[in-house]
Amino acid sequence: MSQPKAISATVTGDDQKVGFRAMVMKQAIQYNLAGVAKNEPNMIVRFTLQGDGKRIDKAIAAIDEGTKRSTGVRVTPSPAAMEPGLKTFTIVDWSSSSRQIANLYTLIFALRADDGVISPDDAKTVWHKILQKTLKGEDLKKLGAGDLIEGRKGENIPPPALQGR
């Protein structure tokens, strides 16, 4: 493990309504990093990451590539103070234009105790579990096939803990 560090970053470019904060959170999940991502009032994405320095560097490199739908993205990181005891990564006021979810949700990833790195596919699975745990009512029903557990006959169903909600 390399030296722990913390960064604060702003993102410029076409980074709105393209899944950008979700992508930042997936990097935090993959590399087991704490922090927060939010949209500023001026529609600039701002995020913090803290944890293993080499992992943060890898996450920033991936985030700088943007999402499939973002363009002209530029991430500007700067050193930040470590926040002792921070054990989560949070997206503040998340919504999804692609899923037509307008209600705002706070999505929280709790750091893994083993502090290991996981694959991008495993990070996506954790992301989907966070969505399934957090979304409510009609919004939960708007999750797509890739967001739900597949049933025996191929139908998409919420996980057993969410059935009947």
**DSSP per-residue string spanning 99-161:** TTEEEEEEEEEEPPTT-----HHHHHHHHHHHHHHH--HHHHHT--GGGSEEPTTS-EE--GG
Map tokens 């927060």 to a residue.
Answer: 36
Parse the chain into domains and list their residue ranges. Answer: 4-162
Of 25, 23, 20, nearest in space to 35 by CA:
25
Q: State the number of CA atoms in the 13 A half-sphere of 125 facing the CB.
A: 8
Q: Which pLDDT score is estimated for 156?
A: 41
- What predicted TM-score, i.e. pTM, was given to this entire model? 0.81
pLDDT in tens, the chain (165 residues): 678 999 999 887 654 454 678 889 999 999 999 999 998 877 778 999 999 999 999 999 988 776 665 556 677 899 999 999 999 999 999 888 878 888 999 999 999 999 899 999 999 999 999 999 999 999 998 887 666 544 333 334 444 333 333
Q: Which pLDDT score is estimated for 101?
A: 87
Q: Under CATH, which architecture does the 4-162 domain have?
A: 2-Layer Sandwich (3.30)
Distance CA 34, CA 6 (A): 9
